[in-house]
């Protein structure tokens, strides 16, 4: 026993830990506040008493001296305590600082980090879990961030009383103990702890990330208080920095100093460090000549973030020496363009602006939206390069152009006259882990404003959700938007701790994609999906089962989130229900409102692939597809007659199905991860017929059919393998057709029912439709045509002639077998 | 026992690391003052024209214009030098004051535990006298 206690005594951090035991930060703060109050009010009391006595208002006499003495005594004690508490504060800050700034330089002689020490200090009975759960400043925070309730935490804590010989962490002192060392030890050695986390959906990786986040918060708070750090002092602008440099009258009109941007000066602005890009940029700008750079990246904040980081370095004086002392001026292209009226004004003013920048001598010119300037010049029949070339070749002047990636590729990259003066720095999109880091740091600031708490899982879901459920834009920006939108939403809904489910609820509300918990109505639909589909799709159980299980997998959250919702290749002859299945699915499952469910066409996105039979059609297809998916990022996309399209188109879909996104003509990512792809094809329909006609089971010959398709070169095996399932649709027999005919006529009946009229359906009518519309090669499709030509035609006639009005019933008498209108006679009763 | 350890730990910091930190903070501020007044730039560009307000000499040569330009440029240089001189004086005073502040701060810091002890005891004495 007391192994841990003896261990921590060896560390030079031990006295600070003990001191904290006596005077916790909260206690110190209370003492500071009280003594401050005394120090301010007591001297005032003495002064007032003396004045009043001198004017004879109050005659204290001897008592007065006594009172004043006592008050003075209190003042002295308060002053002493006030100073002492501040000394303790400085003592702690110094240790925190040690941890924060030099955190990777902790030496093993300290044995543990201060935050870890706070936990170890409580492990008097050697039970580290118990100590962790008791530690308010570290353990409680971590558990809260993990979304574990106080109740569950307390139960786990109480359980620890029963543990006789708790596992002991490595106390050899060879490895520095950090908070993450402790939590990993707890996760691996305390089954109850692991169970509780697993129950809450927390993996070991999540645990470590949460610990890092909490420790960052503790340390960052301490760092924030250290205003005397050189890098913080360096941010205060000097008084005579621009005395030796020229003024920029016209440039100032259309620009701003990036040093004045809030993001550069405020600790509260969080963005990814983008070390690689900033260093690359610095390296380009450090060159003696031609020190110009183009910063190309996705539209959004990412490019300017690199600039902000560079500016921070310039201000902190940690940037490259030749950049220090420079003034980063952002030329706001849009402002300039909106103010120029004609070609001459554009040319003259632009030259003036660049001359001013060059003459000033200390300007790092950053052109926001360089492509816009190039395009505007083009509109005036000018070449931007001709205007600004003298400045680009100058020795001292440095220019950075910001460009959206799409324009960079189309407008700049291939233009040698521009590229010769610039070096490209590409701003890569952040990876998920980096986005999580940025968002979690930003969340700390938002939490202070809104007085809410985000759990780690909520942050994780925001970062993931931004990518998965919003088809357009840069993930970091989207995640950031989500974060700032969720905070006020949480306040409105009285949510104090924002958890994963809250984030999903919000995303669901915003996008109409059912990402949140499964509602009762939806659960019923999910479980009954086969039955619901079977009511509409006749004789295709295999297809129905494949689709239903894919959708259930997705809603249960076990699908691959980097791929579309599902992808199916439906093979079979015409008119056997392939399209109908897609329609039914869209209506049943993807209808977002009641009114939508009646409008099939609106629900189902459809591409007739026979329109894209050559490679030239690809841009047209990409344009159409990206418009479709941007308008509706969740639903069913039917790719009709998939076999008729060009091989290059097939390759495009191979990528979409595999990765869940594609790039539009501008190089922008279009997400298709919430789309259910259904490709239909008549390929090998003859073979299917043959097999079924021979009375064989189609299921047993699936491999043979697929092999034939590959052999005939219709689809490549890679493509077929990419689909979640290749589903064979059976040709329909007489019995199936009778059922379908019945359903089709019932559909017509439903339509006129809305007008208050009734269509009476009898077997004669159904048989007439089946006999007349049966065509083995076209399945049920001719029946639909026949219904239109006969039943619907008759109905239209009688309705227009007002022979059939609301409240009346119409039935049909079959006069002949010939599939034409005159074979039927409407009888109105 | 613990309380002695705490006091010793604190005093070790107070007279060790804290004194070193005091020096480095003092150094930060001194550097900041240099930086804030741009002292090195002021020296380096002492005779530069005020905000680069200088005219270009005429081409081809024209005595009258040359003379005017010369005078204008001379004035802007004089104005620049004057302004810089004033600021240099102010900044040097600030620097000297701040340099003088170090020994005072150091003495106060070294005596601080004693000061705290003395004023608290004095306070107690005054109350319970």
Give me the DSSP letters along A566-584: EEEEEE--TTSSHHHHHHH
Q: Are residues A562 and A457 in the same domain?
A: no
- A-proximal residues of B, 99-118, CB under 8 Å: 112-113, 115-117
Q: Are residues A111 and A199 in the same domain?
A: yes
Q: Are residues A582 and A645 in the same domain?
A: yes
Total domains in chain B come to 1
Pick from A73, A230, A244: CB nearest B48: A244
Residue A444 in any domain: the answer is yes
Residue A244 in any domain: the answer is no
First to last CA, chain A: 97
Does the distance separating the beta carbons of A240 and B87 come in below 8 Å?
Answer: yes
CATH number of the domain where residue A452 is located: 1.10.8.60
- In chain B, which residue's Cα lies nearest the Cα of A356? B52
User: A632 φ, ψ to 5°?
Assistant: -140, 105
Distance (Å) from the alpha carbon of A253 to chain B's nearest alpha carbon = 18
Does the distance separating the beta carbons of B125 and A243 come in below 8 Å?
Answer: no
Going A396 to A402 to A405 to A406, the CA torsion angle's sign is: negative
Q: Are residues A360 and A462 in the same domain?
A: no
pLDDT for A63 equals: 60
Residue A790 in any domain: the answer is yes
The yes-or-no verdict on residue A537 having pLDDT over 80 is yes
Q: Suggest the residue from A89, A90, A238, A396 to mutate for an interface test with chain B (most B CBs closer than 10 A).
A: A238
Residue A525 in any domain: the answer is yes
Q: Are residues A724 and A770 in the same domain?
A: no
Does the distance separating the beta carbons of B36 and A238 come in below 8 Å?
Answer: yes
Stretch among A47-56, A189-198, B115-124 having the lowest mean pLDDT: A47-56
- Give the count of beta carbons closer than 10 Å to the beta carbon of residue A250: 16
Integer Cα distance of A176 and A115 in angstroms: 12
Integer Cα distance of B125 and B113 in angstroms: 18
Q: Are residues A201 and A81 in the same domain?
A: yes
CB A213, CB A144: distance < 8 Å: no
pLDDT for A324 equals: 83
Residue B18 with chain A: CB contacts under 8 Å: 90-91, 94
Q: Suggest the residue from B5, B8, B9, B111 to mutate for an interface test with chain A (most A CBs closer than 10 A).
A: B9
Q: Are residues A785 and A648 in the same domain?
A: no
The domain boundary, picked from A426, A442, A463, lies at: A426
Output the pTM of the full model: 0.71
Q: How far is CA A489 from CA A446, A451, A496, A649, in A?
A: 13, 13, 11, 43
Question: Is the pLDDT higher at A89 or at A394?
Answer: A89
Stretch among A186-200, A338-352, A498-512, A546-560 having the lowest mean pLDDT: A546-560
pLDDT in tens, A233-276: 877 878 877 787 878 889 999 999 998 888 887 666 666 778 88
Touching check for B56 and chain A: CB below 8 Å? no
Residue A325 with chain B: CB contacts under 8 Å: 41
Q: Suggest the residue from A230, A316, A324 to mutate for an interface test with chain B (most B CBs closer than 10 A).
A: A230
Residues 6+ positions from A523 with CB-CB distance below 8 Å: none
- ω into residue B60 within 30 of 0, thus cis? yes
CB A164, CB A40: distance < 8 Å: no
Q: Which region, left, alpha or beta, applies to residue A315 given φ > 0 means left and ψ of -120 to 50 means alpha?
A: alpha
Residue A238 with chain B: CB contacts under 8 Å: 35-38
Rounded to an integer, the average pLDDT of A360-381 is 90
Touching check for B36 and chain A: CB below 8 Å? yes
Residues 6+ positions from B10 with CB-CB distance below 8 Å: A15, A19, A87, A88, A91
Going B1 to B3 to B9 to B12, the CA torsion angle's sign is: negative
Distance (Å) from the alpha carbon of A413 to chain B's nearest alpha carbon = 37
Residue B28 with chain A: CB contacts under 8 Å: 228-230, 233
Does the distance separating the beta carbons of A15 and B8 come in below 8 Å?
Answer: yes
Q: Is the ipTM of this complex over 0.90?
A: no
pLDDT in tens, A794-818: 998 888 888 888 888 888 888 888 8
pLDDT for A489 equals: 92
Does the distance separating the beta carbons of A90 and B126 come in below 8 Å?
Answer: no
Does the distance separating the beta carbons of B37 and A238 come in below 8 Å?
Answer: yes
Total domains in chain A come to 5
The domain boundary, picked from A463, A485, A511, lies at: A511
A to B CB pairs, distance under 8 Å: 134
Touching check for B124 and chain A: CB below 8 Å? yes
pLDDT in tens, A65-84: 777 788 888 889 999 999 99
Structural domain including B89 reads 2-128
- In chain A, which residue's Cα lies nearest the Cα of B119? A76
Pick from B36, B52, B120: CB nearest A80: B120
- A-proximal residues of B, 59-78, CB under 8 Å: none
H helix count then E strand count, chain B: 4, 0
Reported in sequence order, the residue ranges of B1-129 that DSSP labels E, i.e. its strands, are none
Pick from B36, B50, B123: CB nearest A239: B36
Residues 6+ positions from B59 with CB-CB distance below 8 Å: none
Q: Suggest the residue from B45, B123, B124 to mutate for an interface test with chain A (most A CBs closer than 10 A).
A: B123
Residue A238 in any domain: the answer is no
* Rg (chain A; Cα; Å): 37
The domain boundary, picked from A511, A536, A557, lies at: A511
Give the three-class secondary structure for A763: helix
> Exposed, middle or buried, A687 (CB in 10 Å: 0-12/13-18/19+)?
middle
Q: Are residues A648 and A795 in the same domain?
A: no
Percent of chain A with pLDDT over 70: 93
Q: Are residues A436 and A422 in the same domain?
A: no
Q: Are residues A629 and A570 in the same domain?
A: yes
Residue A636 in any domain: the answer is yes
Q: Are residues A527 and A606 in the same domain?
A: yes
Residue A239 with chain B: CB contacts under 8 Å: 36-38, 87
Q: How far is CA B15 from CA A115, A222, B9, in A?
A: 24, 22, 10
Residue A239 in any domain: the answer is no
Distance (Å) from the alpha carbon of B35 to chain A's nearest alpha carbon = 7
Structural domain including A592 reads 520-728
- In chain B, which residue's Cα lies nearest the Cα of A238? B36
Touching check for B87 and chain A: CB below 8 Å? yes
Mean pLDDT rounded to a whole number for chain A: 84
Rounded to an integer, the average pLDDT of B107-120 is 94
Give the three-class secondary structure for A360: helix
Distance (Å) from the alpha carbon of B28 to chain A's nearest alpha carbon = 5
Q: Are residues A191 and A284 in the same domain?
A: no
Touching check for B58 and chain A: CB below 8 Å? no
pLDDT for A96 equals: 65
The yes-or-no verdict on residue A600 having pLDDT over 70 is no
Question: Is the pLDDT higher at A783 or at A151?
Answer: A151
Integer Cα distance of A760 and A709 in angstroms: 45
Most confident stretch, A101-115, A264-278, A616-630, B53-67: A616-630
Task: Give the distance, in angstroms, between the CA of residue A729 and the centroid of all CA atoms in the same chain.
Answer: 38
> Exposed, middle or buried, A703 (CB in 10 Å: 0-12/13-18/19+)?
exposed
Residue A240 in any domain: the answer is no
Give me the DSSP letters along A81-132: HHHHHHHHHHHHHHHHHHHHHTGGG--GGG-B-HHHHHHHTT-TTS-HHHHH
pLDDT for A97 equals: 61
pLDDT for A102 equals: 47
Distance (Å) from the alpha carbon of B67 to chain A's nearest alpha carbon = 23
Does the distance separating the beta carbons of B41 and A15 come in below 8 Å?
Answer: no
Confidence of residue A596 (pLDDT cuts 50, 70, 90): very low
pLDDT for A99 equals: 54
Give the three-class secondary structure for A133: helix
pLDDT in tens, A495-528: 999 998 899 889 888 877 776 566 677 778 788 8
């Amino acid at each position: 026993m007391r192994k841990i206690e003896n261990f921590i005594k060896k560390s030079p951090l031990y006295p600070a830990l003990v001191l904290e035991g006596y005077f916790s930060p909260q206690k110190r703060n209370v003492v500071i506040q009280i003594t401050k109050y005394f120090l301010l009010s007591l001297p005032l009391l003495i002064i007032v008493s003396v004045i009043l006595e001198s004017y004879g208002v109050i005659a204290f006499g001897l008592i007065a001296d006594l009172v004043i003495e006592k008050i003075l005594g209190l003042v002295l004690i308060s002053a002493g305590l006030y100073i002492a508490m501040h000394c303790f504060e400085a003592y702690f800050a110094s240790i925190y600082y040690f941890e924060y700034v030099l955190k990777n330089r902790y030496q093993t002689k300290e044995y543990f980090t201060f935050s870890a020490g706070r936990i170890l200090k409580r492990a008097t009975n050697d039970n580290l879990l118990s100590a962790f759960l008791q530690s308010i400043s570290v353990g409680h925070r971590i558990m809260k961030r993990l979304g574990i309730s106080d109740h569950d935490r307390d139960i786990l804590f109480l359980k620890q009383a029963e543990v006789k010989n708790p596992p002991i962490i490595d106390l050899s002192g060879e490895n520095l103990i950090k908070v993450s060392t402790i939590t990993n030890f707890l996760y691996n050695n305390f089954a109850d702890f692991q169970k509780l986390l697993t129950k809450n959906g927390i993996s070991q990786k999540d645990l470590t990330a949460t610990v890092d986040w909490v420790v960052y918060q503790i340390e960052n708070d301490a760092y924030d208080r250290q205003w005397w750090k050189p890098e913080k002092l360096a941010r205060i602008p000097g008084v005579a920095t621009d005395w030796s440099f020229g003024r920029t009258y016209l440039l100032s009109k259309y620009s701003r100093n990036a040093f004045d941007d809030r993001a550069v000066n405020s600790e509260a602005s969080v963005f990814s460090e983008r070390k690689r890009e900033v260093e690359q940029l610095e390296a380009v700008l450090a060159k003696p000549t031609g020190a110009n750079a183009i910063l190309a990246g996705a539209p959004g904040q990412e490019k300017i973030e690199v600039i902000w980081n560079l500016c921070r370095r310039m201000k902190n004086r940690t940037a490259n020496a030749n950049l220090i002392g420079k003034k980063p001026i952002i030329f706001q292209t849009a402002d300039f363009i909106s103010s120029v009226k004609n070609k001459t004004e554009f040319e003259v003013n632009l030259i003036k602006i660049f001359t001013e920048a060059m003459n000033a001598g200390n300007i790092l010119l950053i052109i926001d939206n360089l492509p816009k300037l190039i395009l505007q010049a083009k509109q005036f029949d000018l070449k931007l390069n001709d205007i600004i070339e003298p400045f680009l070749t100058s020795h001292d002047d440095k220019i950075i152009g910001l460009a959206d990636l799409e324009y960079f590729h189309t407008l700049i990259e291939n233009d040698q006259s521009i590229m010769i003066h610039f070096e490209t720095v590409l701003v890569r999109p952040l990876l998920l882990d980096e986005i999580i880091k940025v968002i979690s740091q930003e969340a700390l600031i938002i939490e202070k404003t809104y007085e809410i708490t985000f759990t780690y899982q909520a942050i994780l879901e925001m970062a993931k959700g931004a990518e998965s459920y919003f088809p357009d834009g840069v993930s970091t920006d989207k995640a950031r938007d989500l974060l700032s939108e969720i905070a006020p939403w949480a306040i409105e809904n009285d949510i104090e701790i924002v958890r994963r489910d809250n984030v999903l609820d919000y995303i669901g509300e915003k996008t109409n994609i059912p990402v949140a918990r499964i509602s009762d109505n939806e659960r019923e639909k999910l479980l009954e999906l086969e039955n619901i589909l079977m009511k509409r799709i006749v004789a295709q159980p295999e297809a129905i089962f494949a689709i239903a299980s894919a959708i259930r997998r997705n809603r249960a959250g076990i699908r691959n989130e980097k791929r579309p919702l599902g992808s199916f290749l439906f093979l079979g002859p015409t008119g056997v229900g392939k399209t109908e299945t897609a329609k039914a699915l869209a209506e049943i499952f993807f209808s977002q409102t009641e009114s939508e469910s009646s409008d099939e066409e609106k629900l189902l996105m459809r591409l007739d692939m026979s329109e894209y039979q050559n490679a030239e059609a690809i841009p047209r297809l990409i344009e159409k597809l990206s418009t479709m998916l941007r308008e509706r990022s969740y639903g069913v996309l039917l790719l009709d007659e998939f076999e008729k399209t060009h091989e290059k188109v097939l390759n495009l879909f191979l990528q979409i199905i595999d990765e869940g996104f594609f790039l539009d003509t501008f190089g922008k990512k279009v997400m298709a991860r919430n789309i259910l792809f259904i490709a239909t094809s008549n390929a090998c329909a003859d073979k299917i017929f043959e097999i079924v006609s021979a009375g064989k089971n189609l299921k047993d010959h699936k491999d043979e059919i697929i092999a034939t398709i590959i052999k005939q070169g219709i689809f490549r095996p890679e493509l077929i393998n990419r689909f979640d399932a290749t589903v064979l649709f059976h040709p329909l027999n007489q019995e199936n057709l009778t059922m379908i005919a019945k359903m089709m006529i019932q559909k017509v009946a439903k339509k006129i029912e809305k007008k208050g009229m009734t269509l009476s359906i009898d077997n004669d009518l159904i048989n007439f439709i089946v006999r007349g519309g049966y065509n083995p090669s076209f399945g049920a499709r001719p029946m639909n045509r026949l219904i239109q030509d006969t039943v619907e035609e008759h109905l239209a006639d009688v309705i227009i002639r007002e022979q059939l009005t609301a409240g009346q019933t119409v039935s049909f008498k079959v006069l002949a077998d010939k599939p034409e209108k005159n074979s039927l006679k409407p009888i109105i009763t | 026992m613990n309380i002695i350890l705490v006091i010793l730990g604190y005093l070790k910091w107070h007279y060790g690391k804290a004194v070193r930190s005091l020096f480095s903070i003092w150094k930060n501020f001194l550097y900041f003052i240099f930086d804030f007044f741009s002292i090195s730039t002021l020296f380096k560009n002492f005779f530069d024209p005020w905000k680069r307000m200088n005219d270009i000499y005429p081409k081809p040569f024209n005595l009258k214009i040359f003379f005017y330009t010369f005078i204008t440029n001379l004035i802007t240089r004089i104005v620049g030098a004057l302004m810089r001189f004033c600021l240099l004086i102010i900044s040097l005073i600030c620097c000297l004051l701040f340099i003088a502040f170090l020994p005072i701060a150091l003495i106060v810091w070294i005596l601080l535990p004693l000061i705290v002890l003395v004023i608290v005891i004095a306070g107690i004495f005054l109350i319970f006298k």
